[in-house]
Structure 1
Amino acid sequence: MNARGRFLILFPLALFVLIPFVWMLQTAIKQDADLYNFEGVPFMFQMAPTLKNVTYLLFETQFLRWFGNSLMVGIIVACITVVLSTLGGYSLSRYNFPLSNAMGIGMFISYLVPQALIFIPLARVMTALHLQDSLLALILIYPTLTVPFCTWFMMGYFRSIPRQLDEAARMDGADTIQILRRVIVPLAMPGILTVFLYAFVMTWQEYLYAVTLISTPSSKTLPVAATTELVRGDVFFWGSLMSATLIGSLPTILVFSFFSKHFISGITHGAVK
């Protein structure tokens, strides 16, 4: 396919993907009177753009605190997921013990269980542990959403790495931890980065548990705070709400921009093998 054909195919897709971001950016810098002017064209400015919505968000709300909460929880949960899924996936792929295959299938099936069926029991457990209204509750709960699938994914990824490498390293005197750290992990780095990105994005955008467990404004994560603290009854602060949404989407965009090759490599490698 020539360049013109690729352009004709990709341009509508790119336009479809970019329109929401353009709309958010435009809404973020529009004046309130311009937002409610129904006589003008929606994508055009009838009044001069303004940064007061962004200024209000950054300096008159706890946006930076909400952003920091989401970032901290996302990074911690992603690191926990990487460690547990790497160890679990390697064990299930290399050691044949009773019910090892059943455990791998069970982990994947547990990932398919709807969140709506388990968030009430988990919320009661967090209340019994006196972790209600605490970010620690989210840090403990979110791995239950990410680890099963990531362990199943890493199990398939490790199976694509020849066992002969383990045996050669063991003959050289390496133990299991050394084999995993010096041989397997470097080879599986695209898969590990894929797991990290998946866990981070899943945690960053999660809403159900965050809105159920967290009620103190300063402890809220960004998705919850944006929809609860920037809305007063039936009054929506659209400019600041779109500013929060646009800025809140930047971490995932930047992460995928820097690690997209590793992410695609991890997905395709695991799927093909």
Structure 2
Amino acid sequence: MTINCKGKLIDLSTPKVMGILNVTPDSFYDGGNYKNTSTIVNQVKAMIDQGATFIDIGGYSSRPDADDVSAEEELNRVIPIIKLILNEFPDTLISVDTFRSQVAQQAIEAGACMINDISAGHLDENMLKTVAHLKVPYIMMHMKGNPKTMKNLTNYDNLVKDILFYFSERIAKARALGIIDLIIDPGFGFAKTLEQNFELLNKFELLKITDLPLLAGLSRKSMIYKTLNSAQEEALNGTTVLNTIALQKGANILRVHDVKEAMECIQLTQKLH
């Protein structure tokens, strides 16, 4: 199970870590932490040194009720950071977290190698065509509505069956356009209640029916700290527990804020196989 990033085949049969770099002022956990070049470079170096295969850059906060930002503002946040990272660490495999085709296009032109889209193409009708033209891996996430409306869109006939139906339609559309490397993310915390998030994790292995790599984005999310009656800052141990479960159920990529601990999860769970 491989994906092609800039001509380099990445084998996902051994799980990989995607380190999160939010360059937004209002992301739910690390918003505003990376305001200057030195803090960004230091954080990226730390994530690479700790074992991250990918760095995922986001310039648009997708937390519930996040403020909308223009495409121009998103580009102003993301493109200089891509160039900065690649200037310092030329071999870095950069994913860009965006639902806008314009941002995807310019991000890949600036040197990124993958697009991570929370809407699987639903929020920009040109996204799938753009990704197909760019010939890059594409992460498609399950969500209903948008970050402003998603928390009110949690009605499902059958949660996992509905998510699989969603992906079957999205995968077929992507394949028809010629997108080769697809990764699916069931979208923990997006248009799902606390109980639905745990149901989804409990049945995570059912997503393997798609025969595509699976990404688990559980890092420090509210399903952890609300269950434990704590805070995001105290959610690392809970994240490690749920990442371990996701790995045992077939996750190929862990998208995380804390790379070292995620790598330890992978190293230890691999010993079980």
Same fold? TM cut 0.5:
no
Range of TM-score over shorter length = under 0.3
Q: Give the TM-score of the pair, scaled to structure 1.
A: 0.27
Which protein is bigger by CA-based radius of gyration?
Answer: 1
More helix as a share of residues: 1
TM-score normalized by the length of structure 2:
0.27
Structure (1 or 2) with the greater strand fraction: 2
- The higher-RCO structure (CA 8 Å, 6+ apart) is 1
